[in-house]
Amino acid sequence: MTQSVETRPPVPPFTQETAIQKVRAAEDGWNTRDPERVSLAYTPQSVWRNRAEFVTGREQIVGLLRRKWARELDYRLIKELWAFGGNRIAVRFAYEWHDDSGHWFRSYGNENWEFDENGLMARRHASINDLPIRESERLYHWPLGRRPDDHPGLSDLGL
């Protein structure tokens, strides 16, 4: 009996080009706000630290993301490559969202990622801080979903 192996290209070891591709693929996935779809980029036993929450495995990842996107409304995210080597990538990111009272935030953070040989993320460590902003200070105005290719990135926006 042949066992199916999940693969999520590009796979390590990463080059600058493939690391950038991996970062954009992660950004695109998260901008769907679809917990089940996002969870498929991670190994079945993936280990996360997200803020002060620790989860293991896709089922817990889905639960965390459902809670996140029930609270963080109209979520729009931009990620940018910070560093890479071998099977690891470091990114910085910022996303904008509002709560159910209409208060807007820009959340800033860093993530450290470690991938298995098939390109699935085995470890994710995220540190995130929330900055209250006025709606007039928002910088992300594209329709919900994938950030358009011509939309400025973090460095272009001075973030």
Helix, strand or coil for residue 35? helix
Q: ω into residue 13 within 30 of 0, thus cis? A: yes
Nearest to 74 by CA among 129, 31, 19: 31
**Cis omega (within 30 of 0) on the bond before 44?**
no
Give average pLDDT by consecutive 10-residue segment, the chain, 159 residues.
Answer: 76 98 98 98 97 96 98 98 98 98 98 98 98 98 97 98
**In Å, what is the CA distance from 65 to each residue of 60, 71, 106, 135?**
9, 10, 18, 24
* Structural element, H or E, at residue 95: strand 88-98
Q: Which two tokens stand for residue 97?
A: 């969202």
Q: What is the pLDDT of residue 2?
A: 46
Query: What's residue 5's pLDDT?
Result: 77
Question: Rounded distance, CA 90 to CA 81, Å?
Answer: 6
Per-residue pLDDT, 4: 57
Residues in CB range of 68: below 8 A, 6 or more apart:
none
Instruction: Say which CATH topology domain 16-137 has.
Output: Nuclear Transport Factor 2; Chain: A, (3.10.450)
Domain boundaries, the chain: 16-137
